[in-house]
Amino acid sequence: MTGILEGRVALITGASRGIGAAVAEAFAREGAHLILVARTVGGLEETDDRVKAAGGEATLVPMDLTDFEAINRLGASIYERWGKLDVLVANHGILGVLSPISHYDPKLWDEVMTVNLSSCQRLVRSLDPLLRQSDAGRAIFVTSGAAVGERPNWGAYAVSKAALEAMVRAYAGETRRTNLRINLLNPGGTRTKMRATAFPGEDPMTLKTPEDIAPAFLDLASPACVAHGERIDAQG
């Protein structure tokens, strides 16, 4: 019995730990060849071990997604090797600090915006032609509950995720007459390092694990997915 991603090429950012690593393992079980992107070589190698244990294989790409020229080279390399990309999971991001807007350090503000928002636009710019070469291109952008409503002290993180949602909705509208399916996924409260930083007093054992929410990513990555331009709550 073949997996739902058999023979498909999937790129996952933020793949060195947490949600990215869990999604990589789940995709590997379903037959995808993985392109794993993260800054840390050691973390990528640990995820690669999980992928191999699940019966899959991966290409490891250590890179900083604020290096926009590297993103351009990544797209070119994928084209040369595979000629297409079937799935993009934009899972990377940084929290910054929890602080009032009026107190936010300008340099850190710009860094959060670059990592959480601008790098996603550059990924779209580089990889959209490859997704269009797929018979069922899928892109999943990880958002947050912080993007919605009044979020005092969430600063650049909340703003970056709200802007990301606006960008992805625009991208979905631009691709509505194609084979692409572009969606946002909100993992909700999940047992990750970022969550522990944002909520240091929270009992992590009350939260779902990254492995618990990986099936939501599989649904949106599947060629059978019909959702487009939607914001999905993985735990909702």
Question: Which residues are catalytically annotated?
Answer: 157
The tokens describing 86, both together, are 């079937």
pLDDT by residue for the chain (236 residues), tens only, comes to: 579 999 999 999 999 999 999 999 999 999 999 999 999 999 999 999 999 999 999 999 999 999 999 999 999 999 999 999 999 999 999 999 999 999 999 999 999 999 999 999 999 999 999 999 999 999 999 999 999 999 999 999 999 999 999 999 999 999 999 999 999 999 988 888 888 888 888 888 888 999 999 999 999 999 999 999 999 999 76
Angstrom CA distances, 210 to 91, 151, 183, 234, stand at 12, 24, 19, 11
Using the Cα atoms of residue 221, residue 66, residue 186 and residue 212 in order, give the sign of their dihedral: positive
**Residue among 89, 126, 96 at smallest CA distance from 113:** 96
pTM of the model: 0.96
**183-202 residue pLDDT tens:** 999 998 888 888 888 888 88
Q: What residue ranges define each of the domains in the chain, with the CATH number in brackets?
A: 9-233 (3.40.50.720)
How many beta carbons lie within 10 A of that of residue 103, not counting itself?
9
User: Do residues 143 and 117 touch, judged by C-beta distance below 8 A?
Assistant: no
Q: What is the pLDDT of residue 194?
A: 85
Q: What is the pLDDT of residue 85?
A: 98
Spatial distance between the Cα atoms of 15 and 61, rounded to a whole number of angstroms: 10
Angstrom CA distances, 197 to 98, 146, 202, 224, stand at 10, 15, 10, 36
User: Do residues 35 and 9 touch, judged by C-beta distance below 8 A?
Assistant: yes
The tokens describing 26, both together, are 């789940």
Spatial distance between the Cα atoms of 68 and 72, rounded to a whole number of angstroms: 6
